[in-house]
Structures are given as C-alpha cells and as structure tokens.
C-alpha cells in the first residue's frame, strides 16, 4: 500500500531556532501534499496545501512566513517552522494524495512529527 514517511518523528529545540520536517511519499507520486497540526485530544487542523513546483496555499490564520512549505518534487514536501516558540509545540502530520489515482482517492498520512520547543 501507499506509504508516507515523516522525518524526524520527534524533535526538541530551543526557542528561536528553526526546525525542518520532511514528508515523503515512498511508493507513489504526490502532486498534492497537505500539512496538518494537531493539539492534544483534538482533531487535525489543516495548515496548508502543498503543490509540487508551486507556492503552497495557506489556511486562514496560518502565518506563511513562519511555516515555510516547499514541495520541490513529486515525493517530497518540507515544512520549516522558523523561529520556533513554545506555542508552536504540537504534533505535525502530513498527508499525500496519489495523483495517478484521481483526485477523489485516499489521502495517505505520515506518522507525524512531535515538536517540543523549550
């Protein structure tokens, strides 16, 4: 089946530093990837939609200068949290859609990245 990986799975950083999270589709090509944020015991909140070779589309209220998204290839999207602060601590999850399967098909989710900013 389709597999999406994320790296790292855990990251602890100091306030003010930047953190990069990678999302890879391992056995399929993903024209579109989505980035979500999840707070404890809550649902997923869509942050942005990432399209290969173009600028990401951010949801209202998400700072595009703080959460930099790059989707340089059909198998890799990155989320960089710039100048991280404790309130950015969260669980970040990406998902990818197999563009060959047609848009209505499943989104495959990565295992998530737990970010803790001290």
Partner 1 sequence: AQSVTQLGSHVSVSEGALVLLRCNYSSSVPPYLFWYVQYPNQGLQLLLKYTTGATLVKGINGFEAEFKKSETSFHLTKPSAHMSDAAEYFCAVSDPRGSGNTPLVFGKGTRLSVIA
Does the footprint of partner 1 cover residue 60 (CB under 8 A)? no
Taking the C-alpha atoms of residue 38 and residue 45, their distance in angstroms, rounded to an integer, is 6
Whose Cβ is closer to partner 1: residue 46's or residue 76's? 46
Does the footprint of partner 1 cover residue 43 (CB under 8 A)? yes
Q: Do you know the residue count of the chain?
A: 118
Terminal alpha carbon distance of the chain: 37
Task: Choose which of 58, 84, 112, 117 interacts with partner 1 (CB under 8 A).
Answer: 112
CA distances from 61 to 46, 47, 64 (A): 11, 9, 9
Does the footprint of partner 1 cover residue 69 (CB under 8 A)? no
Task: Choose which of 49, 70, 80, 89 interacts with partner 1 (CB under 8 A).
Answer: 49
Span interacting with partner 1, options 13-21, 70-78, 79-87, 104-112, rule CB under 8 A:
104-112
User: Which chain residues interact with partner 1 by CB under 8 A?
Assistant: 4, 6, 31-32, 34, 41-44, 46, 49, 51, 57, 91, 93, 95, 97, 99, 103-112, 114
């Amino acid at each position: 089946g389709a597999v999406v990986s994320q790296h790292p799975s855990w990251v602890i950083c100091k306030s003010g530093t930047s953190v990069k999270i990678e999302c890879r589709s391992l056995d399929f090509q993903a024209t579109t990837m989505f980035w979500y944020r999840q707070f404890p015991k809550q649902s997923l909140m869509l942050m942005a939609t990432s399209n290969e070779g173009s600028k990401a589309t951010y949801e209202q209220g998400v700072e595009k200068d703080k959460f930099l998204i790059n989707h340089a290839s059909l198998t890799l999207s990155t989320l960089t949290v710039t100048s991280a602060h404790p309130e950015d601590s969260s669980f970040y999850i990406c998902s990818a859609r197999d563009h060959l399967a047609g848009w209505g098909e499943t989104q495959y989710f990565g295992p998530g990245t737990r970010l803790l900013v001290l």
